[in-house]
Chains A and B, each alone.
Chain A
Amino acid sequence: MSFLQAELPELMLMIGAIILMMVAAIAGRRSTAAVSWISVLLLIVATGLLFGPPSHAGPVFGGLITDDLFAAFGKAIIFPAAAVAIIAAHGWFERGTEHAAEYPVLILFSAVGMGVMVSATNLMTLYVGLELLSLASYVLASYRRMDDRSAEAGLKYFVLGALASGILLYGISLLYGFTGTMTYPGLAAAFTRDGAHSLGLLFGLVFLLSGIAFKVSAVPFHMWTPDVYEGAPTPVTLFFSTAPKAAAILLGVRVCVGGLGPATEAWRQIIIFAALASIFLGAVAAWGQTNIKRLLAYSSINNVGFALVGLAAGGAAGASSVLFYVAVYVVMTLGAFLCVLWMRDENGEPVETLASLSGLSQTRPAFAAALAIFMFSLAGIPPMFGFWPKLVVFNAAIHAHLVPLAVAGILGTVIGAYYYLKVVKIMYLDEPAAPYARPRQPVQGLLIFATALFVSPIGYLLIQPISNFADRAAGSLF
């Protein structure tokens, strides 16, 4: 029964999701609130189970999946983020014609997929988890199906996502063909034996990494991100930019550091390129944006670049730095998007232009202060907590003797600081525009407050627990 215990959170979420789907199908829109809150509760319980007694099951199902601390760290980020995505949608879809009760169910399914992604120790399980997430995501992106932008976002995401899945599968098949195994330890052994000299292995590795790069929206596989982020309903964008991104990055860490660890020299140059390209493109392309969701899309590309800097460092230290980065990144981004959700004009219709933020500090000082904290934090300006994860990844890079990478990356932060500063400038320096409607969602307000507190200098008190957890999680990869 140990295998059941190991995958208890996912099993619970899966069964819950299926039941809730039935409920939603039968009861219709009336059940929205109930389904949402039960889903949130399920996710909270699933998170709580992670901190329960460890199962010590190790790899189960014949090495397909494991429940080590690394997986626990990933799920401890993913499940709460998914719960926030459900809470964030409260009062969003009810206005339209959509069947709002299915939204939390889809989030639950993708949460299961992400749970599988971060705990997979076999390329096949990896793919299954990824597809479970992706299929739910395609539907989520086009959730407002009567809205042209949402439908376009869903279609784009689907077509490009399918292409990326194909690339990923092709890479997996090449690796399988050349090594005869799909488990990560088996791959590691094969790479140790043959080195990274086999052309077939290298091809497989490149295709595999390309597929993952698409999922984390690293340059040059980032094209879909701004369009999908802009078109998708805002709660869905909030979800996309946090949990799935964290899951994909962690999956990348497990594959690269765990499975392909012996081939570090082979994949490092790819990761370095993707990291620098993401940092710079994410920074430069965001300059001219006038839509806050597009701006945050580029911001997420930029931030993925920094996480990849930590990955490029490789080894346990590099993996730990990525975990730390992702944990803080997810909280910052959740907060920023929760603020975006609150941008409603007088009629309660959502607005997304940067110009509508003008003079927010005078009409809504607390709201503006929270968004400013998130912007400075995303830019990595001390004393905000967002500075520390950047320090951690650059620290890992320098310990791995990647000083030029660190220098180039940190210069990227200066370029990126410009557009984060632009948002602050619009809120604080410009004259007030038409004020927003007063939101009536105390839970979301509380979440904004909590996340803002987390990324404020108070967050420094959490360095020790987070980095301890991240170190132990990264250590469990070896």
Chain B
Amino acid sequence: MSGFPVLTLMIAIPLLAGLICLFVNASAARWTALIATFLDLALGIYLWAAFVPGGPQWQFVEHIALAGNFSWALGIDGIALTLTMLTVFLMPICIGASWRSIVKRVPEYMAAFMLMEALMVGVFAAQDLFLFYVFFEGGLIPMYLIIGVWGGVDRVKASYKFFLYTLLGSVLMLIAMIYMVATSGTTSIPALMQYNFPPAVQQWLWLAFLASFAVKLPMWPVHTWLPDAHVQAPTAGSVILAGVLLKMGGYGFVRFSLPMFPDASAQFMPLMFVLSGIAVVYTSLVALVQRDMKKLIAYSSVAHMAFVTFGLFAFNRQGIEGALIVMLSHGLVSGALFLVVGVIYDRLHTREIAVYGGLANNMPGYALLFMLFTMASVGLPGTSGFVGEFLSLIGTYQMSTWGAIAATTGIILGAAYMLWLYWRICFGAARTPEAATMVDLSAREWWLLAPIAVGVMWMGIYPESFLRPMRADVGRIVERVEHSRPASDSKLSGGAVQTHQLAGVAR
């Protein structure tokens, strides 16, 4: 496309800023980080504007051979574009959220976040298998430090758990990658997406990739690192973790598992549906009984991610588009919810739900935004949550009625725990005198939450803005998995007219 290396620049700017952060004082580090994230946001907006939907599959391609097959190959399709946008959109908010609440070792904190941003952009932009792995795994180091140094009381255990759990999943993927390169002779992700591995081989490769992405996403039963990590991480760390890092798992399924191993994906579809079904019901029930706000939202993340796996493995356009919208929506909504928790945590320094109550009285602005994000999390029409979950459910229903029943149960339970959380925090009488005297959102907090609120509404009212860039890519994936689509148990699907009508919803 353009000769200007936008993607490299988007990786280089935060890296450079991170380096600068290490050598300056706290205040300068904050400003450096903020400016760098805004520069990246500006470049992200440029990407979005210059991206031609329906144009070439891979745009902004860069390629520098490094050694053998290994190359600095970057490029994005529509799916990567939206996730890159999500990343650069959330980063300035994260820096803003840490502006006052992080007081110790600020330069290093900002440097870790800058490194994180560079690696996250890299994950979505990498077109080389090993380059992807380097970015994918590299994120462990800064995140480990963010949780471990600036986290809560139990931060050491949580940071170890996060690191080792994720590493264990990823190394198996590395072996699979080496095997794929040995067999196919290329490390190029676009080329591998067209390569046909023998079905028997696909099984093993698929399972190895599952090990990595299931931990990252996370799926039941390997989700247990997530609540710990979220609870201990500082607010901005939770936002990045829920907003972007979890999406890497879903992105991995879309980019690798489905197009590279369609036969194995079809074969393991029932497994994915069973795991997702258990996840959505079980983790929703677990979320109901949480007393810690962050833990509750963490469990709700696992439940929402189950919609992603449901949608992706439905093998149809609605499902995959729905899954991608759920990913974007969850990135915004869960990020916002962690910020919302962070706002009151900064005031009272506790995450116990029981301490709060009646905040609607003394914090009306806060209650309003919290309400919006709660509704988005529940999936109220008009918010981003609805679009994603609805499309995902349509797709799931066409593939498996039982899966759809489990998923719908999850939505109901989701409404229960979210609304109950909201009720306990914002309504009723204040349970402690401290809670009753808390002041409403400051201007800074408004600036953090309002852009996300706009994004959530935009995605809910006019999802086409987000669906259009990825439509062609979703089409390619559907085409690729078409021949191996497993039989559906739904009595209502299959008719050409039906599919057409449902596709209309997606449009």
**A interface list, Cβ under 8 A from B:** 361-362, 365, 376, 381-383, 387, 391, 394-395, 398-399, 403, 406-407, 410-411, 413-414, 417-418, 421, 424-425, 428-429, 457, 460-461, 463-464, 467
Contacts and interface: CB of A to CB of B under 8 A. Distances in A.
A421 B160 CA distance: 8
Contacts of B58: none
A467 B70 CA distance: 12
B372 to A, nearest CB: 37
Nearest to A471: B68
B9 interface: no
A398 B156 contact: no
Interface in B151-187: 155-156, 159-160, 163-164, 167-168, 171-172, 174-175, 178-179, 181-182
B292 interface: no
Contacts of B141: 376, 381, 383
Contacts, number: 91
A266 to B, nearest CB: 25
A410 B140 contact: no
Contacts of B167: 381, 413-414, 417
A173 to B, nearest CB: 41
Given A414-B171, A417-B163, A395 B156 contact: no
Interface stretch (B142-150, B233-241, B248-256): B142-150
B149 A421 contact: no
Given A417-B163, A429-B155, A391 B66 contact: no
B135 interface: yes
Contact of B179 (A361, A403, A421, A457): A403
B172 A428 contact: no
Contacts of A414: 164, 167-168, 171
Contacts of A395: 178, 181-182
B451 interface: no
Contacts of B171: 410-411, 413-414
Nearest to B22: A365
A367 to B, nearest CB: 14
B182 A399 contact: yes
B67 A403 contact: no
Contacts of A403: 175, 179
A463 B174 contact: no
A58 B246 CA distance: 57
Contacts of B299: none
A383 B134 contact: yes
Contacts of B68: 463-464, 467
Contact of B148 (A417, A429, A463): A429
Contacts of A464: 66-68
A460 B140 CA distance: 19
Nearest to A467: B67
A413 B70 CA distance: 22
B476 interface: no
B491 interface: no
B164 A398 contact: no
A391 B175 contact: no
B108 interface: yes
Nearest to B138: A383
B23 to A, nearest CB: 10
B133 interface: yes
A428 B145 contact: yes
B422 interface: no
Contact of B144 (A365, A382, A413, A421): A421
B156 A362 contact: no
A362 B119 CA distance: 25
Given A381-B137, A383-B138, A425-B160, 14 more contacts: A382-B133, A383-B119, A391-B130, A398-B179, A407-B175, A410-B171, A413-B171, A417-B167, A418-B160, A418-B164, A429-B149, A463-B68, A464-B68, A467-B67
A361 B144 contact: no
A381 B164 CA distance: 11
Query: Chain A at the B interface: mostly helix, strand, loop or mixed?
Result: helix
Contacts of A361: 108
B347 interface: no
B172 A407 contact: yes
B105 interface: yes
Contact of B182 (A376, A398, A425): A398
23 contacts: A365-B108, A376-B141, A382-B133, A382-B138, A383-B138, A391-B178, A395-B178, A398-B179, A406-B178, A407-B175, A411-B171, A413-B167, A414-B164, A421-B164, A425-B148, A428-B149, A429-B155, A461-B66, A463-B66, A463-B67, A463-B70, A464-B66, A467-B67
Contacts of B130: 391
B140 A381 contact: yes
A150 to B, nearest CB: 35
Contacts of B159: 425, 429
B contact face: mostly helix, strand, loop, or mixed:
helix
Contacts of A418: 160, 164
A376 B135 CA distance: 15
Nearest to B169: A414
A391 B174 contact: yes
Given A381-B140, A391-B130, A428 B175 contact: no
A362 B105 contact: yes
A126 B165 CA distance: 45
A362 B155 CA distance: 18
Contacts of A399: 182
Give the one of B105, B140, B175 with max A CB within 10 A: B175
A265 B156 CA distance: 46
The 7 closest A-B pairs by CB, nearest first: A463-B67, A383-B138, A382-B134, A464-B67, A410-B171, A382-B137, A429-B148
- Residue from the set B67, B140, B144, B181 with the largest chain A CB neighbour count within 10 Å: B67
A276 to B, nearest CB: 15
Nearest to B70: A463
A398 B179 CA distance: 6
Contacts of B163: 417, 421
A464 B68 CA distance: 7
Contacts of B67: 460, 463-464, 467
> Which of A383, A399, A463, A464 has its CB near the most chain B CB atoms (within 10 A)?
A383
A18 B167 CA distance: 51
B175 A394 contact: yes
A68 B144 CA distance: 46
Contact of B172 (A410, A429, A460): A410
Interface in B46-101: 66-68, 70
A365 B156 CA distance: 20
Contacts of A457: 134
A383 B179 contact: no
Contacts of A417: 163-164, 167
Contacts of A407: 172, 175
Contacts of B160: 418, 421, 425
A421 B163 CA distance: 9
A362 B108 CA distance: 10
Contacts of B108: 361, 365
A411 B168 contact: yes
Interface string B352-387: 000000000000000000000000000000000000
B156 A425 contact: yes
A463 B68 CA distance: 9
A383 B108 CA distance: 18
Contacts of B174: 391, 394, 410
Contacts of B181: 395
Nearest to B15: A457
B222 to A, nearest CB: 14
Contacts of B164: 414, 417-418, 421
Contacts of A428: 145, 148-149
A72 to B, nearest CB: 21
A452 B381 CA distance: 54
Contacts of B140: 381
A460 B138 CA distance: 14
Interface in B321-343: none
A428 B119 CA distance: 21
A302 B258 CA distance: 36
